[in-house]
Copies of this chain bind each other. A is one copy, B any other.
Amino acid sequence: MLRGITVGLGFFGNIHLEGWGRVKGAEIIAAVDKDKERAERTAERYGIKPYTDLIEAIERERPDFVDIATRPDSHLSIADIAASRGCHVLCQKPMAPTWRESSEIVRLCKEHGVRLMINENWRWQPWYREIKGLIESGIIGDVITITIVRHDPDALYETPFPNQPYFVEMERFLLIESVIHPIDVVRFLGGRIEEIFCDMRRVSGVTRGEDNVYVHLNLENDAWGMIYWTRCSEGDLEEPICDYARVEGRKGIIRLDRDGRITVKPLFKPAFKHSYEIPDVGYRGDSCKAALQHFVDSLTSGEKFETEGEEYLNQVMRAIFAGYESARSRRAIKLEEWEEG
């Protein structure tokens, strides 16, 4: 049984802890938060030990891994503490607010011989797992275009972003905080990212950073990823449970509606509904728990993480920082040519 510590007990830290309670092969033994009252309250709820200091927690508890669920600007220092004490690291996305810090997290984990997985729950959402399986079955042939569209109107609420009100203060917001998810989904479904064009705007007027983003990705094998995300508009007409997505292949298409329905249409043949089960527990189709389970399983088996740190750095974080540069310079940027400017 692996033993872990969760750091950061805000909105998402609590989602983690709930998920950990159902993961097999690991247990969380302590929870760390700078806010003592919050640490104690959370620890009591989950029957684990509270700490306000990670170093103390590691030295007393000797965990196998540290689960980082704090805000991005603290990830490097926490990863440093964990890695230098021989703990494997599960780091919430985005890795860090800058390329330098993100790279440093990878370097530190490598130096100390610990493993690093980025906690990216979207690719674990059951609809995307199903779509991946359908693609692998060959029914739509090679992937040509992946479109992911998300409409959230939460910048327009009277109190914007109720779960994460600090979003309004972020200088860089939507691309690095949110669009990072479908970027990882696109590479999950379509392959390596080679080039990014990005456009972004401030639409709502309430955020310091961008709240509306278009991302155009050129993938290996000449496939495209096209992502549009707004926090300032309602897109669909019913209560959505996921994104709208469409995967076009050379022999058909797969469509994901916002109610979670998946439809497959082989070229020139009738469409059919693809039935699958959506767990009704946990967060977004129980995707967080699935990501945690993958971390534990891969640590145990020695297999590569799907979102292994160095690859995630060079694919997803590189796309993010190149994306900001693209929006500024009004040009598409090849990932391999991008350097911190």
Contacts and interface: CB of A to CB of B under 8 A. Distances in A.
Interface of A: 144-145, 147, 151, 153, 156, 195, 197, 199, 201, 203, 212, 214, 216, 218, 222, 224, 226, 228, 230, 232-235, 237, 246, 248, 250, 252-253, 255, 263, 265, 267-268, 271, 329-332
Contacts of A268: 153, 156, 234
Given A197-B216, A234-B265, 4 more contacts: A144-B230, A153-B268, A197-B197, A331-B331
Contacts of A233: 144-145, 248, 253
Contact of A234 (B145, B218, B267): B267
A230 B248 contact: yes
A338 to B, nearest CB: 13
A269 B237 CA distance: 10
Nearest to A156: B267
A199 B197 contact: yes
B144 A232 contact: yes
Contacts of A267: 153, 156, 234
Contacts of A203: 144, 250
A265 B233 CA distance: 10
19 contacts: A144-B230, A144-B232, A145-B212, A145-B233, A151-B248, A153-B267, A156-B267, A195-B330, A199-B216, A199-B218, A201-B224, A226-B228, A232-B250, A234-B252, A234-B253, A234-B265, A237-B271, A329-B331, A331-B332
Contact of A331 (B151, B250, B330): B330
A100 B53 CA distance: 71
B235 A253 contact: yes
A271 to B, nearest CB: 4
Given A267-B153, A267-B156, A216 B214 contact: yes
Contacts of A151: 248
A120 B246 CA distance: 30
Contacts of A246: 235
A255 B212 CA distance: 19
B201 A222 contact: yes
Contacts of A263: 237
Contacts of A147: 228
A269 to B, nearest CB: 10
Given A144-B203, A195-B330, A237 B224 contact: no
A226 to B, nearest CB: 6
A115 to B, nearest CB: 37
A162 to B, nearest CB: 14
Nearest to A202: B222
Contacts of A153: 267-268
A16 B228 CA distance: 38
